[in-house]
Amino acid sequence: MKRILFIENDLQIKNEIKSILQSSGFYTITTTSGKVGAELAKGDGFDAIIVDLFLNDETGIECCKDLRKHNLLIPIIFLTNNKEEDYQIEAFNSGADDFINYPVHKNEFIARLNAVIRRSKIYLKSYDEASFDNIRINFTKQITKVKNKQILLTSTEYKILKFFVEREEEVISRAEIIDALWGVNSNASSRTIDNYMLSIRKKIEKNPSCPKHIITVFKEGYKFVK
């Protein structure tokens, strides 16, 4: 049985979503505290975490950053009735795997949850490491070194990099990236992808304003070049 950690401080939403999860065969543990949720996640084997944007003791963004800081690879889904794009971008930049608006449609919600869990199990299988210039990336351990100095990347940034490394010198559209990482029904936008690319360039490129490896292809998307 798949195990879900649900971090939500609204009692009505918590009860409704927990009921949906349990009726769909998920074992679900709930908490209203981001800090408690983070500790539970670090010590137990969850298949996914669902978190609200605003909690009793911290924001969902802060909770997500804390989990990613400890290199936890558990998929994280934000569930919220706040539809502002800036929050969605901030959530993805903090390491989220999906962003779902409340109220939910049960079948779509469960399908997206299963898709996120499924992708998390397979995305690391085909390519473990990459080396180019003075950059060394271990996708399995999520360790990146630039000139032997360790650089911190988010879980989502590793997924994006791996996706590009596997398709070296192939032009990939923003829509393809969104579909591969989050699915066609994701709320992620072209702006979300552009923000991720900007962040990755700042971390691995010698000159982020004139990148050598993550190249923008005008009106088409991006490509990776060693």
Superfamily of domain 3-122: Response regulator (3.40.50.2300)
Measure Cα distances from 186 to 52, 108, 112, 115, 180 in Å. Answer: 17, 11, 8, 11, 10
For residue 218, the one-letter residue type is F
- Quickly state the pLDDT bin for 226 (edges 50, 70, 90): confident
pTM for this entry: 0.62
User: Which of 37-41, 49-53, 88-92, 154-158 has the largest mean confidence?
Assistant: 49-53
Could you tell me what percent of the chain has a pLDDT over 90? 61
Poorest-confidence range of 37-41, 69-73, 189-193? 69-73
- Quickly state the pLDDT bin for 124 (edges 50, 70, 90): very low
User: What are the start-end ranges of the E strands in 72-170?
Assistant: 76-80, 98-101, 129-132, 135-138, 143-146, 149-151
d(CA 128, CA 52): 32
The topology (CATH level 3) of 129-224 is Arc Repressor Mutant, subunit A (1.10.10)
Tell me, what's the pLDDT at 123? 53
Tell me, what's the pLDDT at 117? 86
Could you tell me what percent of the chain has a pLDDT over 70? 96
- For residue 197, give the nearest of 178, 184, 183 by alpha carbon: 178
46 token code pair = 């969850």
The owner of tokens 């971090």 is: 7
Give me the residue spans of the domains in the chain.
3-122, 129-224
The chain-wide mean pLDDT, for the chain, equals 90
pLDDT digits (tens, 9 = 90+) for 173-205: 999 899 888 876 778 899 999 999 999 999 999
- Strand ranges of the sheet holding 135-138, from the earlier edge strand across to the other edge: 129-132, 135-138, 143-146, 149-151
The residues that bridge with 221 in the sheet, in sequence order, are 217
pLDDT digits (tens, 9 = 90+) for 77-121: 999 998 888 999 999 989 899 999 999 999 999 999 998 888 776
- Quickly state the pLDDT bin for 132 (edges 50, 70, 90): confident
